[in-house]
């Protein structure tokens, strides 16, 4: 399958990247999560400190396409650790990759701010356990910085 090249080099190789962080449920749980399953890695659970990353494989990249928003991200596979830090307040959490996502291209250009600090584009989705360590679940979407954990 032809895969368009991401902007070169991936931004996250040069240092931490900023983007938006949201949360998603996984594991066969209650509500609309009942059909979600255990994610692309087969290990995802809402109660575990895990995340979804947009570039876990060619097939994953072809769905999420951060390059369409001008963002290059490195290929990182199941179990890789990232540290996500809330730009608002500085709380951080280290999580491992358990799924493919978010679909960055569907929210291209979206921006979240905290005070004067803003971040563009959805680059990472945390499980509820992880997100609630750095922000309230009811906030839904926050600006963050992502580094290797």
Could you tell me if 113 and 143 are in contact, meaning their C-beta atoms sit under 8 angstroms apart?
A: yes
Pairwise CA distance, residues 85 & 97, whole Å: 16
* 13 binding other proteins? (CB under 8 A): no
Residues in 96-125 at the binding interface with other proteins, rule: CB under 8 A: 96, 98, 102-103, 106-111, 113-117
Cα angle 69, 107, 82; round to 5: 75
Neighbours of 118 (CB within 10 A): 13
* 133 binding other proteins? (CB under 8 A): yes
Q: How far is the CB of 39 from other proteins (least distance, A)?
A: 11
Pairwise CA distance, residues 82 & 127, whole Å: 13
Q: How far is the CB of 14 from other proteins (least distance, A)?
A: 23
Could you tell me if 11 and 124 are in contact, meaning their C-beta atoms sit under 8 angstroms apart?
A: no
Out of 17, 86, 100, 146, name the contact with other proteins by CB under 8 A.
86
Size of the site for other proteins (CB under 8 A): 64
What sign has the CA pseudo-torsion 6, 117, 141, 49? Answer: positive
> Of 9 and 90, which CB lies nearer to other proteins in the complex structure?
90
Beta strand 117-120 with 17-23 is: unpaired
Within a 13 Å sphere around the CA of 63, how many CA atoms are in the beta-carbon half? 14
* 77 binding other proteins? (CB under 8 A): no
Q: How far is the CB of 77 from other proteins (least distance, A)?
A: 13
Out of 42, 62, 70, 77, name the contact with other proteins by CB under 8 A.
62
Residue numbers of the site for other proteins (CB under 8 A)? 1-2, 22-25, 27-33, 35-36, 43, 45-50, 59, 62-63, 79, 81, 86, 88-92, 94-96, 98, 102-103, 106-111, 113-117, 128-130, 132-133, 135-142, 149
């Amino acid at each position: 399958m032809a895969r368009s090249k991401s902007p070169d080099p991936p931004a996250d190789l040069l240092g931490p990247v900023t983007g938006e962080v949201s949360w998603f449920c996984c594991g066969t749980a209650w509500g609309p999560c009942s059909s979600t399953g255990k994610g692309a890695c087969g290990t995802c659970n809402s109660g575990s400190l895990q995340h979804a990353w947009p570039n876990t494989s060619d097939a994953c990249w072809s769905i999420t396409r951060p390059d369409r928003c001008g963002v290059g991200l490195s290929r990182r596979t199941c179990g890789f650790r990232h540290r996500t830090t809330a730009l608002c307040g500085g709380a951080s959490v280290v999580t491992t990759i358990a799924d493919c996502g978010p679909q960055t291209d569907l929210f291209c250009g979206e921006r979240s701010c905290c005070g004067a600090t803003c971040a563009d584009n959805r680059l990472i989705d945390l499980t509820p356990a992880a997100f609630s360590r750095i922000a309230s679940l009811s906030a839904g979407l926050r600006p963050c910085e992502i580094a290797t954990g």
